[in-house]
Amino acid sequence: MIKITLPDNSVREFAEPVSGLEIAKSISNRLAKDVLSISVDGEVWDLSRKIDHDANIKLHTWNDREGKETFWHSSAHLMAEAIEAYYPGTKFGIGPTVDTGFYYDIDLPEGKVLSEKDLQKIEQKMLELARQKNDIVRSDISKEDALAKFTEKNDELKQELISELEDGTITLYNQGNFTDLCRGPHLPNTGYIKAIKLTAIAGAYWRGDEKNKMLTRVYGVTFPKAKMLEEYLVMVEEAKKRDHRKIGKEMQLFTFSESVGQGLPLWLPKGAQLREQLENFLKKVQKKYGYEQVMTPHIGDVKLYKTSGHYEKYGKDSFQPITTPAEGEEYLLKPMNCPHHCEIYKAWPRSYKDLPVRMAEFGTVYRYEMSGELHGLTRVRGFTQDDAHLFCRPDQVKEEFKKVIDIIFIIFKALSFENYTAQISLRDPNKPEKYIGSPENWDKAEQAIIEACEEKGLNTVTELGEAAFYGPKLDFMIKDALGRSWQLGTVQVDYNLPERFELEYIGSDDNRHRPVMIHRAPFGSMERFVAVLIEHTAGKFPLWLTPEQVVVLPISEKYNDYAKKVSNLLNISDIRTVVDDRNEKIGRKIRDNELKRIPYLLIVGEKEAESDSIAVRRQGEGDKGTMAIQEFAEFINKEVRDQLSGLYN
C-alpha cells in the first residue's frame, strides 16, 4: 500500500500508484474541481503524475501561490501557442511566472513586430485554444533528442538552454500543436483557463545580457473565472492611482536621475523627513528592547563576504570588486550588513553574562539588478535595511525570537497593517546543496522558530525551500488595501555564520561556546517599505508619520506674515508646518495641498488674524471649524499621542 500523508497528518492508503487529481477526488469532488497542482515531499508536480511511493503531499488551489504559479505557467505556454499560430517561425526564450501573471520572451520572424493592438487577437486565439481543452502532456526525452527537436525547429534560443542542462532526461510539455521545453508543473488541460488579459509589451535582452539580442517580452494574466478578471481590472485601475512613483512625485518624496544612475533613488527633503520619522520610531522601540546602534562602512574586503558565504551565493548579483591599483586589494560594495556585525561582535571577548548582544543599524547595501528588473522604490540597486543582529546563547533563542515578533507587531499596529500571514520558511529537504551548515544546526533552528510561533499563537503557513541559505526564517506576508500581498518583516535563526566567523563566548563552565545569531529586519528595505506604505495608504499617512502635518494658507498676501506667525508657533510645538504663500486664489491652494496629502489645511484671513485663530480643514473631511492656535496645537498633539498610545509601553 502507498501511504499518502496530508497536511493535517491524516493518512490515505492506495493499492497502486496514484495521481494528485485522484487523491483530490478521494477527498471531495469539489476539491477535485478546484485543485491545480500538488506538492510531493516539497516538490510541485502536475496533477496527472503518478506517486508510486509513500509521500507527504499538499494540494494547491487558486488560493495558494503554487496553484497560481501552475495556472500562469500553463498560460504562458498557451500564449506561446497562440503567438506561434499567428507568427510561424517565432523562437521562444523563457516564459516564467511573476507576482501578477506571466511573460514570455520571444524572437519574432524577421520583419514582424508586435504592437498593443495585436494583443487582443492573441487573447482571442488563446481563448479559442483554451476552449479546446487540450491535454497538457509531459514527456521525458534525452538531451540529445531534445537538441535535435529544437534544431529541426530552428529555435537557437531553446538549443542554448538545452545545451547548458546536465546530460540525462529532459522534460517537454505538449498541448495541441505546441511543444515546449519545461520542468513544469502544468494544469491537466487548457480548459481550466477561462479569462485572459495580455497586459503589456516590452523589450528584453536575451538572458538579461545587454550584449545579446533584444527580444519581445509579452506580459499577461489569466483567471479560472471571468469575474476574477473583471475584479482584477478594477484593482489595476485603482493601483494606477496609488502607484508610489506617481504619488511620490506629487508629494515630492523622491526622484531618480540618469546622471546618478539607474536604481539609485534620491530622497527629497519631504521623503527624507518621512524616512527619519520611521527610523526614529523604530529606534525608540528598539531602545525599549535593549538594542544598541552601530555603524559600518559601505564597502568591505571581498574575503569578508567569502567567509560569510554571501560572495558564493550572491557574487553575480553584486557590483564587481573594486581593486586598489597600488596594493591590489579587492573590496566589494556591501551586499549585506551581517558580516560586519559579526566582526563587531568579535571586537572583544564575550561572556555568557554579556548575552544577548543586540546591535541595530540602518545600513545601506548594494545589489546589482538588471535595468529591466528595476521598478521605482520596490526594486533598486542601493537600499537601506533596518538591520539588526542578535547574538545569544542557545537557551535564549526562543525568547529573543518572540521579542522580535513583538516588535514587528508594534510596527504593524502603528501603520494599520492588519491583514497578514506569518510564513515559516524552511529548507528544501530535497536540495541540501542550497544551504550551508550542518543538518543538526538546521534542525535546532527550525524547531526554535516553530515553537516560538506556537507560543505566540501565530496563524502560520509553512513553505519548504524558502529559507535563506544560512538559516530558516519567519516572513510576514502583508495584504495591502487592494488585497495585494507583500513580504514585510523577516526574522531568521542562524547557527552557521557564528561557525564561519568563529564567534565565541565564555560560558558559565569557563569553556568556549558558539553563540546563535538572529537576523531581523521589520521594515526590510526602507525603500521598498515606503513604496508599499504609499500604495497601502494612497499617500495619506498617519498623522504622526506624514512629512508635513499642517499647511497654512493665507487668503491673500496681506496675511502672509500672520501665516508665518502661525507656522512658527506650531513648529515650536513640534508640529511640522509649512506656509503656502503663493500668489494664488485660496481655492487653488486648497486643491494643490490636498493633492500633496497634507492632513490639515489652515486658512487664515482678516478674521483669523484679528482673533489669533485659524479656520481648520481636514484632508478628505472638509471644514472642522475655527480654533485658537494653542487649542489646535493641543488637538494635533493629542491625535499623534492617541495614534502611538501604548506602542512604547
User: Pick the catalytic residue: 158, 313, 340, 519?
Assistant: 519
Angle between helix 269-288 and helix 397-414 axes, rounded to 10 deg: 140
> Which of the 8 DSSP states describes residue 333?
E
> Which of the 8 DSSP states describes residue 50?
E
Is 385 part of the annotated catalytic residue set? yes
Specify whether the CB–CB gap between 38 and 59 falls below 8 A: yes
- Reference 219, options 191, 194, 192, 198; nearest CA is 198
Cis status of the peptide bond prior to 185, with omega within 30 of 0: yes
User: Pick the catalytic residue: 60, 367, 381, 427?
Assistant: 367
Residue holding cell 498617519? Answer: 542
Known binding positions? 338, 389, 519
Q: Which amino acid is it at 76?
A: A
Residue holding cell 559600518? Answer: 296
Is 367 part of the annotated catalytic residue set? yes
How many angstroms separate the CA atoms of 436 and 504, rounded? 19
User: Pick the catalytic residue: 107, 244, 334, 338?
Assistant: 338
Is 135 part of the annotated catalytic residue set? no
Residue holding cell 552601530? Answer: 294
Alpha carbon 86 to its chain centroid, in Å, reads 36
Name beta bridge partners: 382: 366
The CA dihedral of 8, 9, 15, 18, to the nearest 10 degrees, is 50
- Residues with Cβ within 8 Å of 69's Cβ and at least 6 positions away in sequence, in order, are 37, 44, 97
Is 389 part of the annotated catalytic residue set? yes
Name beta bridge partners: 578: 551
Is 68 part of the annotated catalytic residue set? no
Instruction: Tell me what percent of the chain is helix, strand and coil, each rounded to the nearest 5.
Output: 40, 30, 35
434-442, long-range: CB < 8 A, 24+ apart: 434/465, 434/469, 435/467, 435/469, 435/470, 436/309, 436/469, 436/470, 436/496, 436/500, 437/470, 437/471, 437/495, 437/496, 437/499, 438/495, 441/495, 441/496, 441/499, 442/471, 442/472, 442/495
Is 131 part of the annotated catalytic residue set? no
Backbone angles phi, psi at 525, to 5 degrees: -90, 130
User: Pick the catalytic residue: 473, 576, 589, 596?
Assistant: 473
Known binding positions for Zn(2+)? 338, 389, 519
How many angstroms separate the CA atoms of 592 and 612, rounded? 25
Cis status of the peptide bond prior to 472, with omega within 30 of 0: no
Residue holding cell 520572424? Answer: 109
Helix (H) and strand (E) counts in the chain: 20, 35
The residue length of the chain stands at: 649
Question: What radius of gyration, in Å, describes the C-alpha atoms of the chain?
Answer: 29
Specify whether the CB–CB gap between 345 and 503 falls below 8 A: yes
User: Pick the catalytic residue: 64, 155, 386, 387?
Assistant: 387
Specify whether the CB–CB gap between 494 and 517 falls below 8 A: yes
Name beta bridge partners: 202: 217
Mode of pairing for the β-strands spanning 516-521 and 382-392: antiparallel
How many angstroms separate the CA atoms of 470 and 380, rounded? 24
Specify whether the CB–CB gap between 410 and 647 falls below 8 A: yes
Q: What is the grid cell recorded at 397? A: 533563542
Q: Which amino acid is it at 601?
A: L
User: Pick the catalytic residue: 159, 175, 286, 385?
Assistant: 385
Is 153 part of the annotated catalytic residue set? no
Catalytic center residues = 338, 367, 385, 387, 389, 473, 519
